[in-house]
Amino acid sequence: MDSFHGNLVFMRGYACAMALLALPLDEASASPFDDWWASQVALGESGAVRARLIEWEVRLPPPSPEEIRALRQAVEGKPEHPGRAELRVLEARATNAAGLHQRLWTSSDGLLQRLARDDASGATTSYDLALSSGEAWSLTTEGLTIRRLSGVVKADDIGAMLTTFHDEASLALSGGLARSALFKVDVTRPPEILAESKWSGEWAGPGRKPGVEYRVRAQGTFDPSTQAGSVRKVEVAQWRDGQAQWTTTYEVEMAPRARGQLPATVRVVHRSAPDAIVRTLVLLKAEPVSDEVVQALAARPPLQGTDPVRGALTYRSISDELSAAQRVTTTLLDDGTTHSSAMEMPGARPSMWLRYIGWSIVALIAATLVAIKLRRNAAKGASA
């Protein structure tokens, strides 16, 4: 080979090498497992529910006799005590273990949302939440509440309640990995591949207070021949000054998923201790959905009309809070006519319990109960 052609070959090789070096590290060296892991972690991120329908079931363990007895004592002689509604729910679930069935539709930008929630045990009524164009609404079989979107998230806002369901959907989608985000533990670094197509990883992140650290451990499988993997177990623990404070475990049954696919079936058992089940999540469906479909589902359901999710509507009262100055309540009377009355809106919203006395209290209790059950264990760590 003459010197000219030799130099040409060298320059081509040099150019190829420089091109590889110019690639981001993940593009130049990412393995099929690394790609799969990145897609699995993404299923636990806040935007994972966008442009998708997520359908899942939550199964809560039956309340203990001691829990019911304590609540009965707390409400005895107090007819207005909000715990009376919770007591009715717990008593119903003590004899019927059927789960909470939930469906969440979200647009690609997250601005349009619709949640439909049903309690198969019959302990609570159906409940719907939605974010639509410039407004939010909640629906029960008895009434519709319409609110303007203020952009300020408060504890009793529809948007805040929807966030609770987003967290649940992401937890089911990701096979428990979404919980790492609650404690701000970065799990993007791929775990280690072990023998027999298994993987295992550990990650850690600092808490809000000095000496506090959160640790995440996860295990699963990955088949190099099919490039499909699964999560089998996730543990989240709080450590303080080198001592373990608590551990939450998510035991996962998950059909192997290839990169680019949505999970087919996932079952997550959430334990606060080896013998203490907090809840069980069962993913029933995860599929793409168009913005046009979400827009139709998030539209305000009409009085005496039909809804694409609920069918013929039976509610008889509308609480219109679109105005910052007043709340207008419209009631459908037995003769088919409507009656409207206006009430000045207070400068500050009262508490959830006082604000929803009447037809919608059961629905809000239901949502609150779910939030309490889901966050009971997480709240201890988040406050540290």
pLDDT in tens, 254-270: 999 999 999 999 999 99
Percent of the chain past pLDDT 70, that is, above it, reads 78
CB 100 within 8 A of CB 281: no
Q: 146 φ, ψ to 5°?
A: -120, 130
Q: Report how many domains make up the chain.
A: 2
134 Cα distance to chain centroid: 23
Token pair of 185 as six digits: 């533990």
Encode pLDDT of 209-254 as tens digits.
Answer: 999 999 999 999 999 999 999 999 999 999 999 999 999 999 999 9
Residue 175 in this model has a pLDDT that exceeds 80: yes
- How does residue 17 score in pLDDT terms, banded at 50, 70 and 90? very low
Query: In sequence order, what DSSP letters do the residues of 162-173 get, joined into one string?
Result: HHHHHHHHHHHH
Q: Are residues 112 and 9 in the same domain?
A: no
Residues 6+ apart with CB under 8 A from 277: 61, 269, 270, 271
Q: Are residues 56 and 170 in the same domain?
A: yes
Q: Are residues 323 and 238 in the same domain?
A: yes
In a domain, 134, yes or no: yes
CB 277 within 8 A of CB 248: no
Average pLDDT score, the chain? 82
Task: Please report, for residues 33, 42, 242, 274, the alpha-carbon distance to residue 189 in angstroms, rounded to integers and kept in the order given.
Answer: 11, 12, 23, 28
CB 374 within 8 A of CB 164: yes
Q: Are residues 13 and 106 in the same domain?
A: no
Token pair of 259 as six digits: 């990169």
Percent of the chain past pLDDT 90, that is, above it, reads 52
End-to-end CA separation in angstroms for the chain: 70
Q: Residue written as tokens 């130099």?
A: 7
- The reported pLDDT for the residue numbered 56 is 96
In a domain, 92, yes or no: no
Encode pLDDT of 78-108 as tens digits.
Answer: 888 878 877 877 777 777 666 789 999 999 9
In a domain, 68, yes or no: no
3-state secondary structure of 73: helix
Select from 174, 268, 255 the least CA-distant residue to 221.
255
Q: Are residues 161 and 295 in the same domain?
A: yes
Q: What's the CA gap between 191 and 39, in Å, rounded?
A: 13
Q: Are residues 20 and 144 in the same domain?
A: no
The pairing of strands 317-321 and 326-332 is: antiparallel
Q: What's the CA gap between 283 and 285, in Å, rounded?
A: 6
CB 168 within 8 A of CB 281: yes
In a domain, 171, yes or no: yes
Give, as one character, the DSSP assignment of residue 325.
S
Question: Can you give the residue range of the structural domain that contains 10?
Answer: 3-30
